């Protein structure tokens, strides 16, 4: 026993009898806090508590001074071997070792001197002592003890090279990285020792391993027969797994190897499974800290993860003309088939199937997300490849429908996706309206474009008011070319100001748009906002998506959550929903939101599975084919406002579409625009005479059919009249009239010649218009859906107008990059120089700005006037400096005159266009209207 006038050394501590008032006050505090024990002959304080003392406290209690030492640690042998030994010694400030030192707990005797070993020296030396006492065969225990030692080491500790390079990771907890195919891997977590937490709180866990070492761990975890207590990962990295964590991971290891249904059951509620299988082994509270259930979905609209299957929705009108080819080689006689690809039904020539298959297969290998086919963005994934492979295999039997993905042996391969409350049959989910902080109004400081047109200022104010009033979302449905992008960017900049001022928590924005428009959004953000604009951008599509998904689940979600704004495509959102679902978004914007107009499609339901404070659906055509389009858009932005789809169908859709009740359509518009404050939809049309728009003139170019064309038209008409009168026969007859109204005969290898032009009323009228446009030195767009005619017109127009280069062309066969190059080239050609571009209505009618032209010729008419207006809007928009002219070439039969097909169709489209402007009704021509079109076209025949 070592004694002093004011202290006595006892086993495990000191018996203190201070003589000074300061020392007595220190002991009184220790006794009050329970850190000391009062005995008959003094106050006992343990070594562990004394090691925490400051130098002045030692002096006040007349204890030995603190030892001015550093620690040297070295290892002998490989750390993972049984023969490894850990050696340590104390060094003086000059680097020389302390000689003859004898340590008794916190007290060190060196010669005639005594020192107190304060932390971290004391705790490290005790940990080394415990390490050396372990069984050499207890590798897991030694790893765990070294992990504790390393955490205590101060910066000035002298550690040999082997121990310096060792990175020991302790798995305090874990979560699961769930894949789309219902497989999963554990993600090890460590509770950071450097985090500042409140008393009684657990520090938040972080991913324990960098990505490369995490992959090594998961590979070795799967290969082992059971979960281990430690893992050597290479490069000096070791994972230490405490026993309780190991037991829980053992359950995960077993579940990894079970069939798909059992894995899905585990994923659905992993905590319950762990609790049931571990039983009494691990206390419930301990298990709560061991397994961290990451939010795989945040939205209260998501019910669970499961396999998604197409829904047959009885409340979606199918009266549109899906039999009509969207873009075809109509004059070369190509046989076509229909096939479901992604969320769309694609019509393609049968001989194109092998080429499309190879195109998709190559894109899949390159990591691309979609390919363009005839104006349709075809998703690049395994399901598309399977569908096309079956079509190629059965191409000798074109009438046999291809086998659908997701049947028979495909079932096991289907991935897990969020299953949402769809509101189709009944209203199961309605968004709430909590009022938010802030005041609407004002132009954000980051807006570089300080001058907004009055309607744009009103649009920004409407968005701000909707936000403050707590609306879950809105539908911005302005006509194309009125600045929807600018209004949205201005609102997002205002939202950032709200977050920076503390009015709203900081969260990222997500913008979903067609692939071809993403670069345009970036360009608009750079143009309209002061640098740095919206801030840090993550492009979650294409190659950058692959880099993002290379991160672990926790880190990937963290990166997205910490971004300022994120952009992705609809196809990526649909196929990689697990990347976006765990993020809490401030605002989600859906540009060209008609992509989610189908209420029962997977793309639509994935869009509705996101958690966000506010949704903006953005489209110039809120109703394309059916009022169910509008319901789907509103259900995404303000779920519950229009009730369930079944209720909507009975109340509005059926009366308006099938019964012709325009009062019901007006009542629907009143509900959205007048009965909700602020309005749930904002729709301004160019016909409202808004400031900033050019003048617009429409020209009907009526031309009498030449004899050969009139004869072909009469033959087609009489053939139709002699038909069976069935719906299919009538539709076929209309197609024949439509075709012969443009060209009487199929094109051959000579293409378009002067003789072909002279034999077509529409082509003659078109060339006369182009002659006048050339004389003015202006530019024109020609919209025609027939690909073979497009191709044939290119050399003809170049020769006729002596153009230095071939006319540019945009169709569904032109990829996104080529499309942008064509637009940039056309826009940059000299003012005052005639030029012409050929476009397909569907491929060239969305997302392109072609204001270098101010003439639009609709050489072939589209069945939906909304699509036709989209084409015109490529030039008719804010930023157009010249008045625009729209031309409708129409072929008149010399005997039928006003009952000619072109004129009858023109009147029908104009009626549909006018009605859709007055009330929200679908402009798509219905089969009943086509039957009436046939009756009018045959009147007088």
The pLDDT score that the predictor gives to residue 329 is 46
CA distance 305 to 667: 38
What distance in Å separates the CA atoms of residue 290 and residue 288, rounded to the nearest whole number?
6
Q: Give DSSP secondary structure letters for 139-207.
A: HHHHHHHHHHHHHH--TT-EE-HHHHT-EEEE--EEEEEE-TTS-EEEEEEEE-TT----TTPPPPEEE
User: CA Rg, the chain, in Å?
Assistant: 37
Question: Virtual CA dihedral for 456, 461, 465, 468, nearest 10 degrees?
Answer: 110
Low-confidence ranges of the chain (pLDDT < 50): 193-202, 314, 317-330, 332-335, 338, 396-413
Domains of the chain, with CATH numbers? 1-63 (no CATH), 167-294 (no CATH), 311-403 (no CATH), 454-685 (3.40.50.10810), 696-938 (3.40.50.300)
Phi, psi (degrees; rounded to nearest 5) at 636: -80, -35
Q: What is the pLDDT of residue 812?
A: 74
Q: Output the pLDDT for position 204.
A: 59
**Of 560, 565, 475, 568, which is closest to residue 513 (Cα–Cα)?**
568
pTM as predicted: 0.63
Which tens digits make up the pLDDT trace of 413-464? 457 788 899 999 899 999 988 888 888 888 999 999 878 999 999 999 999 9
The DSSP 8-state label assigned to residue 341 in this structure reads E
Q: Are 647 and 669 in contact (CB under 8 A)?
A: no
Distance CA(107)–CA(121), nearest Å, equals 11
Query: Which of 316, 383, 320, 375 lies closest to 347, judged by CA?
Result: 375
Q: Between β-strands 42-46 and 13-16, what pairing exists: parallel, antiparallel or unpaired?
A: antiparallel
Beta-carbon contacts of residue 425 (< 8 Å; ≥ 6 apart): 644, 645, 646
User: At 262, phi and psi to the nearest 5?
Assistant: -70, -35
- With b for 16 or more beta-carbon neighbours within 10 A and e for fewer, the 823-832 pattern comes to beebeeeeee
First to last CA, the chain: 127
Give pLDDT, residue 764.
97
Tell me what pLDDT residue 393 has. 64
**What 3-state class would DSSP assign to 50?**
helix
What is the residue whose two structure tokens read 């902080």?
A: 437
- The beta-carbon contacts of 684-689 under 8 Å, at least 24 apart in sequence, are 684/455, 684/459, 684/478, 684/479, 684/482, 685/479, 685/917, 686/479, 686/481, 686/482, 686/876, 687/917, 688/455
Q: Please give the pLDDT value at position 691.
A: 83
Distance CA 700, CA 105 (A): 103
State the pLDDT at residue 838. 95
């Amino acid at each position: 026993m070592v004694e002093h006038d004011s202290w006595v050394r006892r086993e495990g501590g000191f018996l203190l009898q201070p003589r000074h008032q300061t020392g007595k006050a220190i002991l009184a505090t220790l006794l009050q806090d329970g850190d000391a024990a009062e005995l008959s002959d003094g106050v006992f304080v343990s070594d562990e508590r004394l090691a925490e003392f400051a130098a002045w406290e030692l002096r006040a209690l007349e204890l030995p001074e603190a030892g001015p030492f550093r620690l040297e640690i070295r290892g002998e042998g490989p750390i993972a071997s049984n023969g490894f030994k850990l050696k340590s010694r104390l060094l003086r400030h000059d680097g020389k070792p302390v000689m003859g030192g004898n340590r008794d707990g916190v007290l060190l005797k060196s010669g005639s001197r005594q020192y107190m070993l304060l932390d971290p020296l004391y705790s490290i030396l005790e940990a080394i002592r415990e390490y050396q006492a372990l069984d050499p065969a207890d590798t897991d225990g030694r790893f765990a003890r070294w992990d504790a030692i390393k955490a205590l080491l101060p910066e000035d500790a002298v550690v040999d090279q082997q121990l310096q390079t060792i990175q020991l990771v302790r798995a305090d907890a874990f979560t699961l990285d769930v894949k789309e195919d219902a497989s999963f891997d554990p993600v090890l977590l460590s509770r950071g020792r450097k985090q500042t937490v409140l008393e009684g709180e657990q520090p938040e866990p972080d991913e324990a391993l960098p990505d490369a070492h995490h992959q090594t761990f998961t590979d070795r975890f799967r290969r082992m027969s059971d979960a281990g207590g430690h893992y050597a990962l290479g490069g000096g990295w070791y994972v230490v797994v405490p026993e309780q964590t190991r037991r829980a991971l053992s359950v995960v290891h077993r579940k990894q190897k079970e069939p798909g249904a059992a894995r899905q059951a585990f994923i659905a509620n992993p905590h319950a499974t762990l609790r049931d299988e571990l039983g009494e082994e691990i206390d419930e509270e301990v298990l709560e800290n061991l397994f961290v259930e990451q939010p795989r979905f945040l939205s209260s609209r998501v019910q669970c993860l499961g396999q998604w299957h197409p829904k047959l929705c009885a409340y979606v009108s199918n009266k549109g003309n899906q039999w009509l080819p969207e873009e075809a080689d109509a004059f070369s006689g190509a046989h076509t088939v229909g096939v479901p690809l992604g969320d769309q039904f694609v019509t393609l020539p049968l001989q194109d199937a092998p080429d499309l298959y190879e195109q998709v297969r190559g894109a899949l290998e390159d990591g691309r997300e979609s390919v363009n086919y005839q104006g349709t963005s075809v998703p690049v994934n395994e399901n598309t490849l399977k569908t096309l492979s079956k079509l190629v295999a059965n191409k000798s039997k074109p009438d046999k429908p291809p086998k659908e993905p997701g049947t028979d042996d495909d079932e096991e391969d289907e991935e897990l996706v969020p299953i949402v409350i769809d509101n189709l049959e009944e209203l199961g989910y309605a968004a709430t309206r909590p009022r938010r902080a802030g005041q609407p109004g004002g132009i954000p400081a980051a807006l570089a474009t300080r001058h907004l047109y009055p309607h744009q200022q009103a649009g920004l104010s409407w968005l701000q008011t909707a936000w403050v009033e707590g609306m879950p979302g809105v539908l911005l449905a302005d006509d194309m070319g009125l600045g929807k992008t600018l209004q949205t960017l201005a609102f997002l900049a205002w939202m950032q100001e709200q977050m920076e001022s503390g009015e709203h928590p900081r969260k990222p924005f997500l913008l979903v748009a067609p692939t071809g428009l993403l670069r345009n959004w970036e360009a608009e953000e750079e143009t309209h906002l002061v640098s740095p604009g919206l801030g840090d951008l993550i492009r979650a599509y294409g190659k950058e998506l692959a880099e993002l998904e290379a991160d672990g689940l926790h880190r990937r979600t963290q990166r997205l959550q910490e971004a300022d704004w994120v952009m992705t495509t609809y196809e990526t959102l649909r196929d990689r929903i697990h990347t976006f679902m765990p993020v809490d978004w401030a605002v989600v914007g859906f540009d060209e939101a008609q992509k989610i107009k189908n209420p029962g499609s997977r793309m639509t339901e994935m869009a509705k599975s996101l958690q966000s404070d506010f949704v903006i659906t953005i489209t110039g055509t809120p109703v394309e084919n059916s009022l169910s389009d509008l319901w789907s858009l509103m259900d995404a932005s303000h779920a519950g406002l229009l009730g369930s789809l079944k209720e909507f169908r009975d109340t509005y859709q059926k009366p308006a579409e099938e019964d012709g009740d325009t009062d019901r359509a007006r009542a629907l518009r009143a509900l959205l625009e007048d009965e909700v404050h602020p309005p749930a939809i904002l729709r301004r049309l160019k016909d409202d005479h808004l400031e900033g728009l050019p003048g617009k003139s429409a020209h009907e170019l009526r031309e009498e059919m030449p004899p050969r064309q009139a004869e072909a038209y009469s033959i087609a008409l009489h053939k139709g009249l002699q038909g069976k009168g069935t719906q299919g026969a009538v539709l076929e007859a209309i197609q024949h009239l439509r075709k012969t109204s443009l060209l009487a005969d199929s094109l051959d290898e000579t293409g378009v010649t002067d003789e072909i032009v002279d034999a077509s009323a529409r082509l003659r009228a078109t060339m006369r218009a182009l002659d006048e446009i050339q004389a003015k030195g202006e530019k024109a767009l020609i919209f025609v859906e027939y690909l073979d005619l497009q191709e044939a017109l290119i050399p003809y127009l170049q020769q006729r107008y002596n153009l230095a280069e071939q006319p540019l062309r945009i169709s569904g066969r032109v990829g996104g990059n080529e499309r942008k190059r064509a637009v940039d080239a056309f826009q940059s050609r000299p003012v005052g120089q005639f030029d012409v571009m050929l476009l397909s209505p569907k491929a060239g009618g969305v997302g392109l700005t072609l204001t270098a032209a101010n003439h639009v010729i609709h050489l072939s008419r589209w069945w939906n006037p909304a699509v036709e207006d989209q084409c015109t809007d490529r030039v008719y928009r804010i930023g157009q400096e010249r008045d625009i002219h729209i031309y409708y070439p129409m072929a008149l039969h010399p005997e039928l005159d006003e009952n000619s097909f072109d004129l009858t169709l023109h009147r029908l489209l104009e009626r549909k266009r006018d009605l859709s402007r007055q009330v929200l009704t679908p402009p798509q021509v219905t089969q009943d209207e086509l039957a009436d079109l046939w009756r009018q076209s045959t009147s007088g025949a």
